[in-house]
A and B are shown apart, each in its own frame.
Chain A
Amino acid sequence: MSDNVFIQSIQVAGWPLVGGLPQQMQNALRRADDFIRLAVFVGARAIESVPLANIGPAEIGIFLGTTTGPLETNFRFLDTLFDDGEGRCSPTLFSHSVHNAAAGYLARLLNVQGQTLTMTSFGWPFLSALCEARAALVKKEVKVALVLGVEEESPVLIFDEGGGLEAARACRKGAVAWLLVDEQTAEISAVARLLDVLLEEHPCDPGFFFNRAGELVAPGITENCSQYPSALQAAVVLSKKVEDCSLGGESELAWGVEAPCGKASIFIDF
């Protein structure tokens, strides 16, 4: 049995969502927050890109990485606690403030019954999720892995470089989804083959995570991705680079990111 893992589809989305959520999901998402909507938007598009008629629900997994989870929902829950008092908080907001709420929604709406794993780190959570998803495919735990990075910034936590609260600015939201498949499931339209993901994260000055100054990606630059949350920009650069290389007829890509919080390398061929 082959250990090959293929990237079948890549989706990137900022906020507001362009194109809207799938019609058949809108009722189920009526109480969902933006974090969940982002995850469902990119996740549904990624998974719909490949016919999965022969794949059972238990053979599909979801691997989601995030730095802070649904921060705004967390604060909305606090609002209900402060304004309405104990015993009168919103149960919906509480259940949606849990970091794996988005993965749970995705599992329900896409009928995914395999592994669902949500990982939280301030470094590169999308790459952490990618690493675990690839391992699950190699182990034959799943045949299809939906890998997501979902981020939302909150005005509550935005500071300037001096440590003072920045003047209010638009907070960015965004998500990336990759659909990974095993060799048997891969379609001829697969974007690329994911050879390896090497990730080393280590402690650093937490100030880095405010604006991620000094995060270097190669090839690519994060400056072109300023519409996305800073914690997602490396994942967006990588996603666009993979798509560009695929369309441009490249044979391989060795991509890396380095920052005070560690380094990562992704190896792909086409």
Chain B
Amino acid sequence: MNISEGSVAISGLGCISAAGRDVEEHLQTFVERSIVPAPVPGRLFETSLPYPVFAVGPDPLSPWSRALLENLQPKISLIELSRTSLLVLDAALQAIRSAGLNLDKLQKKRVGICLGTTVGCAFNDEEYYRTWRRGGRPCAAPIFRYLGGNIASVLQAILCLRGPVGVITNACASGTDAIGVAKNWLNTDRCDLVIAGGADALSRIAYNGFASLMLADPDACRPFDQSRKGLNLGEGAGIMVLAKIRQDDRPALGWVHGYGTAADAWHPTAPHPDGRGLQAAIKKAVADCGGGIKKEQVSLINAHGTGTPTNDLAETTAVAAVFSQDSLPPLVSTKGFTGHTLGAAGGLEAIFTLLALAAGESKGSFRCGNPDPTFPYQPMSQGVQVALNGKIGISESLAFGGSNSCLVLEAAS
């Protein structure tokens, strides 16, 4: 344990993605390594484009979550909720249960909710807009759903919690930033617990947006591979229950020790070629650990690793610049299992980092058979498995707008 003044405890975990409906299913998928992206399910949206996606099943809610929500008083209307909100709810309920909490206990505490999203904050009701564009008078219901659909407020309302709420919209770094902001809330005593992470559902708008930017791969994505052509979109939610560290609490699953974030100040959609902002974010995240952790102790880096040519090159360049030759932690991407889940990615990948650190081993990036030899830092290729030399790791996120954010995490022994 490397607890510093600013460290916060990870008390509970919840995750849902195409790779699994909970932590256990994700672990199983990471072992089996057979998941493949598929054409966009027609139940989500119709498309003529060829890019496969990583979709969650038809109902984002597990039977357990659905039963719990349907028995809440006052009654809530689940059909009014967006798919992103349902993903948040499912992962949050998992995390609350994993933390050994129930709603009665939570409602007696000051519980913050800090979530990252991109799709979840956009008004993307195509039918409404088509009608409006034609000069029609669309039904106002989609507007009410949108105005009532802030994902943090939805969670706060349904669980009847009180405390600070925030939705971070830093594009693909949103989930990581939400966990970092949540840590700051606990450090400044704004609340006792925070439900933090990220969530995003697949959307035709984002799907077409990434296609228009020519960042999508028509085949399964291959992060860090020499033949990589782009990303596959995915959906999901990754949520942690974070708490102040107290000696009398139940054992933590791990800790968030450091958070660092920095801007590239470079380009709207492309990372700085040297990963300038990412380098700064890694250094700041390590510095945020209060001197208790040195970068030489980092035993795993879970990269953003989208599979786009520019992201993977910038990311390996930044990592090479920060870590010296005598301290080269394994670098992996997990997006081969989940696709790029946008605002959810930071939440999901913080959890995946913690799970690998807890297991004490990591496998190479799924579908990275031949790491690009031009990278200045070689990521672990598929088929390689290493024992980790410690319990401390870094989870990285990069985003449109030039945002770069990192978390320093430690798994409990």
Residue positions of A touching B, CB distance < 8 A: 57-58, 62, 68-69, 71, 74-75, 77-79, 81-82, 86-91, 94-101, 103-105, 107-108, 110-122, 128, 132, 135-136, 138-139, 141, 156-157, 159, 163-165, 199-203, 205-207, 209-210
Contacts and interface: CB of A to CB of B under 8 A. Distances in A.
A118 B146 CA distance: 19
Nearest to A80: B212
B170 A91 contact: no
A58 B123 contact: no
A78 B153 contact: no
Interface residues of B, number: 69
Interface stretch (B89-97, B157-165, B347-355): B157-165
Contacts of A110: 265
Given A97-B122, A107-B401, A116-B263, A206 B147 contact: yes
B293 to A, nearest CB: 18
The 5 tightest CB contacts between A and B, nearest first, are A104-B401, A94-B209, A206-B148, A203-B157, A206-B147
A35 B181 CA distance: 25
B136 to A, nearest CB: 9
Given A98-B171, A202-B156, A71 B267 contact: no
Contacts of B152: 121
Nearest to B206: A94
Contact of B212 (A90, A138, A163, A206): A90
A12 to B, nearest CB: 23
B402 interface: yes
B268 A81 contact: no
B401 A116 contact: yes
B346 to A, nearest CB: 13
B162 A202 contact: yes
Contact of A95 (B122, B129, B400): B400
Contacts of A156: 129, 132
Nearest to B117: A120
Nearest to A207: B144
A99 B118 contact: yes
9 contacts: A78-B205, A86-B208, A88-B212, A91-B269, A99-B118, A104-B402, A120-B168, A156-B129, A202-B157
B98 interface: no
Given A117-B177, A117-B181, A94 B401 contact: no
